[in-house]
Structure 1
Amino acid sequence: MSPSAPGSVPDLRRRDLTLDLARVVCVLFVIIVHLLQVGIGVAPDGSLVTSRPAEQESWFNAATWVGQIMPLFFVVGGFASAAGWSSWRARGGDAAGFVRSRTLRLAQPALPVFVFFAIVLTVAALANLAPDVVAAAAVGAGSPLWFLAAYLLCQALVPVMVGLHDRAPRRTVLFLAIGVIVVDAVRFSTGVTEIGLVNLLLVWPLVQQMGFWYRDGWFDRRHPVTLLAIAAACYALLWPLTTWGPYSASMLGNLNPPTLPLVVLGLAQACLLRLARPALARLMEWRPVRAFIFVMGTRLMTVYLWHLPVILIVSGVTLLIPGAAPAPSSPAWWWSRPLMFVVVLASVLALSLLIVRWEAIGDIGPSPAATVVAAAWVCAFIPPFVVMQWFLDLGSAVAGTILLTVAVVLLRRRGRGTHEPSPAPRSVVSES
């Protein structure tokens, strides 16, 4: 699964294209979920009101068992990260350079997002716009940023976790699983939610390990009936965990801080992905599908980071067009969601034409010292972590802009070394 030589055309025969498809579908699922969660309407007095229509429905919790697709994203990301680390080492790279490259691929696309929020929230504050509506919009628009914090942790740990996987794969998974259970037990027994933050270091790396196992062929070697039984057992286990256990029946409620049900869900989704692989492979043989997936794959982070601001902007525009904005939760509003999905996706892709270059890091030369990379990683990690914990506001947007600028500047510094692997060709699977 290693990439082709720099500047060459990737050999598609050496890549599992179903993983490209799965990763893009994960992001599209996220857009769909947020379209169902964001309701903006006008109150009788003419003021704007926000709501979360999907969460008001009786089927919402059950739907999250299917719609919470982020564990699968980390499984596929684990596959990509292991492949990327293997390729990086084969080209003579070290751990510091790898972490530098992966951190830059996350920090650089995030910077314009924080700049945008800083400008918009500053203008909103100066214009004295309705604080409640602005705050609600900021919280909603910033909600996907938790992913950056979790993924930055996973990427920084890849060299260590791949090494542990190579030496003791079963013990590594067992240790992480026990750690997740212990942290959850302490958190729920004490009532101190913040203890659950330790699981950022356990839950998502554990799900990422499943991607390593996927790459090793463990899922390939299981009979389809076995994979189906494992997936069914996982979903069966979620029922007592959320019914009698301390966990939320909504998989979104188990997201931050992350909990054991996400690990269980990730294993089920990995099994189902392998079961669906033949059908997905046939789908990827269709050129229009493959072309769409590859276009999306080159700007996936841009689509993910910008889709909620675009949803809010498009929703605001519809309010200015008579009859274009049905009341949230009304039948007309639900019927309008497919059209909104098309408009939002088209708008994000159009926007990506302007900012997708922030996803390409180019030739960044020799890596600076490991201490510089570590400092840059901390600067990149703090902004999304703060948003995850305390939500987005003007202060966190401005501070995030400053810290991410520092991170990008530090990461793009050239070290004194004479050798550094050139960037591999951009693709969904070969890059995280």
Structure 2
Amino acid sequence: MSTQQAGTSPANTARDARGTIAQRDLVVDLIRTACVVLVVVVHVTMVGVGSDASGLRVTSPLQELPWYVGATWVGQVMPLFFVVGGFASAVGWRSTVARAPTGGDPARDFVATRLVRLFRPAVPLFVVLAVGLGIATALGTPAELLDELAFGIGSPLWFLAAYGITQCCVPVMARLHARAPWRTLLVLLLLAAAVDAVRLASGIAEVGLLNLGPVWLFAQQLGFLWVDGWFARRSRALLLGVAAVAYALLVPLTSVGLWAPDMLQDLNPPMLPLAFLAVGQACLVQVVHAPLTRLMATRPAQAVVFLLGRDGMTIYLWHLPLFILLNGIGLLVGLPFPSPGSGPWWATRPVAVVVLLAVALGVARLVRRSDRPLPRLTPGSDRPGWPLVAVGAVCTIGPAFAVMQLHLSFPLALVGAVAIPVGVRLLTRTVPASVSTPGASATRLPGAGTV
């Protein structure tokens, strides 16, 4: 919590806080928090650790259930996360444009601010991973076991790369949205289909990485539409119809053998079905927006969302390393481990989720200093030029992208532990604001300047 400025009374502070809450769409906070918690739940139910006479066993009980594939059409929430991210990005972009200093470039300010906000929480994680994997390697841990653990620990880090890329594109995508929102969505959809077609025809899986742009930018653009009020102006019947069509199209798409019906398999690299899933999820959220708004008007709901949402990124980044650590501690102290997939094992999952969230919140408190947002520009200052911002973006996004493609290892963890702090440092720099040039204008979404 920030300290009060001189002349600000507690009453004024409380009034400002209430005003901030009143201006926000708290449903966005609710959805973002629910997505993080659901990711934790999925991973806790997907990783089953058991020990018997033959040794340690790691299985995936959730994936063995007959209804698992169908459940991924509901439980795969990453498209919705990018839709919500698009909403937040559009609001943040308009705010950045509105307060841009004379002669300043709001695009540089926005990109630097968003990347710092995204990657600062990752700094302590990469440092801990580098130290931990380095010690494990020095102690002679079997390479196969270490690779398996590192793969699981690093699997969520793809999100840093994907989301960082979309944040860098917001100023450009905002301009395209303002000029031709539907044409932009159509082009992104066609590009996603083209990338998948080339990947499937060539058999080169790496081609699919190009869809980190079209698929996630498509979902982000839906968030721009949300800010514009497009979904709110549609009738419930129309929204349900659009959602039904989007889900119906997934049936033939995933039945011809080109895309997997398991939406988690379609995640890395992202594939075309996720774009249709984003449409259906965005429409369904608007259908239940009114009851969710009433829910978020209650103090208990606000308390839970603010408690978990305040440290949502830290929880997301740390939950798998902590889950593996907690299981290891349990094995060392001799805790009884029910057979994965058994009735007692499923009965312990809610407890496992609560314990993991509590420990993750504790870690978030310890590393909260690294999670502070970048302060706003002061009068007469600006972000550094695009070359320095570009270097900062590469230093932050690069290690996460490498982990996504090559999987986590000690060398990559070490690179991230060095490069990401350097990138964050570069992006936090400020320079004197330049004098505005005639004819220069900032890119604005419709209604820019209002939050």
TM-score tier after normalising by the smaller chain length: over 0.9
Aligned CA-pair RMSD: 1.8
C-alpha displacement at 1:117, in angstroms? 0.7
Aligned to 2:99: 91
Deviation digits for residues 184-227 of structure 1, max 9, x if unmatched? 11111111111111111111001100000111111111110111
CA distance in 2, matches of 1:42, 1:173: 50
CA distance in 1, matches of 2:308, 2:433: 35
Q: Is the 8 A contact 1:315 1:325 kept in 2?
A: no
CA distance in 1, matches of 2:374, 2:171: 22
Q: Output the amino acid matched with 2:124.
A: P
Picking from 294, 300, 316, the partner of 2:328 is 316
Aligned to 2:385: 369
Matches within 5 A, 1:272-291: 272-291=284-303
Aligned to 2:438: none
1:249 match: secondary structure: coil
Q: Is the 8 A contact 2:199 2:207 kept in 1?
A: yes
Please list every run of 5 or more consecutive structure 1 residues that lacks an aligned counterpart in the other structure.
420-432
Aligned to 1:65: 73
Q: Is the 8 A contact 2:130 2:413 kept in 1?
A: yes
CA distance in 2, matches of 1:122, 1:409: 25
CA distance in 1, matches of 2:208, 2:357: 34
Q: Output the amino acid matched with 2:170.
A: V
CA distance in 2, matches of 1:172, 1:197: 20
Picking from 153, 156, 159, the partner of 1:147 is 159
Aligned to 1:107: 119
Matches within 5 A, 1:343-362: 343-362=355-374
Aligned to 2:413: 397
Picking from 397, 418, 423, the partner of 1:407 is 423
C-alpha displacement at 1:57, in angstroms? 2.3
CA distance in 2, matches of 1:240, 1:44: 46
Aligned to 2:45: 36
Deviation digits for residues 327-364 of structure 1, max 9, x if unmatched? 22222211111100010001111111111221213437
CA distance in 2, matches of 1:134, 1:329: 25
Q: Is the 8 A contact 1:364 1:412 kept in 2?
A: no
Q: Output the amino acid matched with 2:416.
A: G
C-alpha displacement at 1:295, in angstroms? 2.2
Q: Output the amino acid matched with 1:313.
A: L
Deviation digits for residues 60-96 of structure 1, max 9, x if unmatched? 2111111100110100110100000000100015101
Picking from 9, 15, 20, the partner of 2:29 is 20
Q: Is the 8 A contact 1:149 1:381 kept in 2?
A: yes
Q: Output the amino acid matched with 2:29.
A: D
Q: Is the 8 A contact 1:364 1:414 kept in 2?
A: no
CA distance in 2, matches of 1:277, 1:168: 26
1:50 match: secondary structure: strand
CA distance in 2, matches of 1:245, 1:128: 43
Task: Say if 1:176 and 1:382 are closer, same or farther in 2 by CA, change over 3 A.
Answer: same
For the pair 1:301 / 2:310, whether they are aligned, the reply is no
1:41 match: secondary structure: strand
Moved more, 359-368 or 143-152: 359-368
Aligned to 1:430: none
Task: Say if 1:265 and 1:291 are closer, same or farther in 2 by CA, change over 3 A.
Answer: same
CA distance in 2, matches of 1:44, 1:131: 23
Picking from 39, 51, 58, the partner of 1:50 is 58
Matches within 5 A, 1:157-236: 157-236=169-248
CA distance in 2, matches of 1:131, 1:329: 28
Q: TM-score, normalised by structure 1?
A: 0.92
Picking from 397, 419, 437, the partner of 1:381 is 397
Q: TM-score, normalised by structure 2?
A: 0.88
Aligned to 2:344: 332
CA distance in 2, matches of 1:324, 1:413: 52
Aligned to 2:440: none
C-alpha displacement at 1:176, in angstroms? 0.8
Q: Output the amino acid matched with 1:403.
A: A
Q: Output the amino acid matched with 1:74.
A: F
1:250 match: secondary structure: coil
The number of residue pairs the alignment matches comes to: 414
Q: Is the 8 A contact 1:187 1:193 kept in 2?
A: yes
Q: Output the amino acid matched with 1:39.
A: G
Picking from 57, 66, 77, the partner of 2:85 is 77
CA distance in 2, matches of 1:304, 1:31: 7
CA distance in 2, matches of 1:390, 1:218: 40
Aligned to 1:427: none
Q: Is the 8 A contact 2:153 2:320 kept in 1?
A: yes
C-alpha displacement at 1:304, in angstroms? 0.8
Q: Output the amino acid matched with 1:92.
A: A
